[in-house]
């Protein structure tokens, strides 16, 4: 392959990624002119995987596309020889990079203040310590314990908590809208949500320590999920009736996959409010609630 053929191949690949016809060209345009006339390449992470079908000449293409609408799984990717297509490989790497960024980045310090949350921090001092010492992400030092007690007082009915967890992007994208829906739902049931605690370097078990410190009847914690390759913005809600250190995980009720492509933040918030009301009425959560 000579230099001219190599250039033509690269241009076809770039045009394919941009979603434009992969016409064969024999001359290389001036890069500066190309930037002005065509602008930047499209963000391939904005492509809906449910609608992306890359198989050439399929036998039952429409039926397969109908199935793909039900899942973001990477199906129907096609191939280039024995390999995946370039766009599929680049999308995989882009989604993996987004997941890594979400795990290792921090929710901005001003997030809690701007939204009226009360900030506290677990025993973890750095992101590395948080990732390698989950036990420290479940406990608070004396200074933060005092803030928690002051925030919720003794024996509140409901303690609303937001924790960064393993996805900063999830909290920034969903927590505020979800809490607004929770508060609206609770108000409709004649309940008050009270103040919101924001926990930095938070594990789900931190809600148990909060329960011990305050005697809260129900602790509702919104926390960033471990991101995957479908989205880096997925949040979960963990609701526990009278949590305490050592409580079995089976005693928690969980709503997961809260994000724009799953259960939306507002829909989840309405469901959370209903669950809190049910827990207070039945004085149970987790498997006990279903019984």
**Residue that the structure tokens 């410190």 belong to:** 213
Position 78 scores a pLDDT of 85
Dihedral sign for Cα 212, 214, 218, 224, please. negative
Please tell me the pTM assigned to this model: 0.76
Cα(156)–Cα(213) distance, integer angstroms: 11
Range with the lowest mean pLDDT among 29-33, 56-60, 62-66, 156-160?
A: 29-33
* Three-state secondary-structure class, residue 221: strand
Write the pLDDT tens digit of every residue in 208-258: 999 999 999 999 999 998 877 778 889 999 999 999 999 999 999 999 999
* Beta-bridge partner residues of 122: none
- Bigger pLDDT: 20 vs 42: 42
**Residue that the structure tokens 């987790």 belong to:** 286
* Three-state secondary-structure class, residue 279: helix
Position 58 scores a pLDDT of 87
Instruction: Please say whether the beta carbons of 10 and 17 come within 8 A.
Output: no
Q: Which residues contact 14 (CB under 8 A, 6 or more apart)?
A: 41
Kind of pairing between the strands at 218-224 and 252-258: unpaired
Write the pLDDT tens digit of every residue in 98-132: 888 778 888 998 999 999 999 999 999 999 999 99
pLDDT at 188 over 80: yes
Tell me the mean pLDDT in the region 84-89. 88
């Amino acid at each position: 392959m000579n230099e001219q053929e190599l250039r033509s191949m690269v241009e076809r690949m770039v045009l394919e990624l941009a979603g434009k016809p992969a016409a064969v060209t024999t001359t290389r345009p001036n890069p500066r002119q190309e930037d002005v006339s065509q602008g930047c390449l499209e963000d391939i992470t904005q492509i809906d995987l449910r609608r992306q079908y890359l198989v050439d000449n399929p036998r039952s293409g429409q039926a397969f596309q109908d199935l793909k609408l039900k899942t973001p799984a990477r199906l129907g990717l096609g191939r280039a020889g024995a390999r995946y297509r370039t766009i599929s490989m680049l999308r995989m790497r882009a989604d993996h990079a987004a997941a890594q960024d979400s795990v290792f980045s921090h929710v901005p310090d001003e997030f809690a203040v701007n939204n009226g949350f009360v900030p506290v921090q677990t025993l973890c001092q750095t992101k590395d310590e948080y990732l390698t010492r989950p036990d420290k992400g479940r406990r608070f030092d004396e200074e933060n314990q005092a803030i928690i007690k002051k925030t919720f007082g003794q024996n509140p009915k409901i303690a609303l908590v937001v924790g960064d967890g393993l996805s900063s992007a999830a909290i920034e994208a969903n927590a505020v809208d979800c809490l607004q829906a929770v508060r609206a739902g609770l108000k409709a049931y004649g309940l008050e949500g009270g103040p919101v605690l924001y926990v930095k370097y938070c594990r789900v078990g931190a809600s148990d320590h909060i329960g011990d410190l305050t005697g809260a009847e129900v602790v509702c914690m919104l926390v960033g999920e471990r991101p995957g390759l479908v989205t880096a913005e997925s949040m979960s809600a963990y609701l526990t009736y009278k949590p305490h250190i050592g409580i079995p995980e089976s005693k928690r009720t969980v709503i997961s996959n809260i994000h724009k492509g799953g259960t939306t933040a507002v829909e989840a918030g309405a469901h959370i409010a209903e669950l809190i009301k049910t827990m207070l009425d039945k004085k149970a959560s987790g498997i006990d609630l279903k019984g």
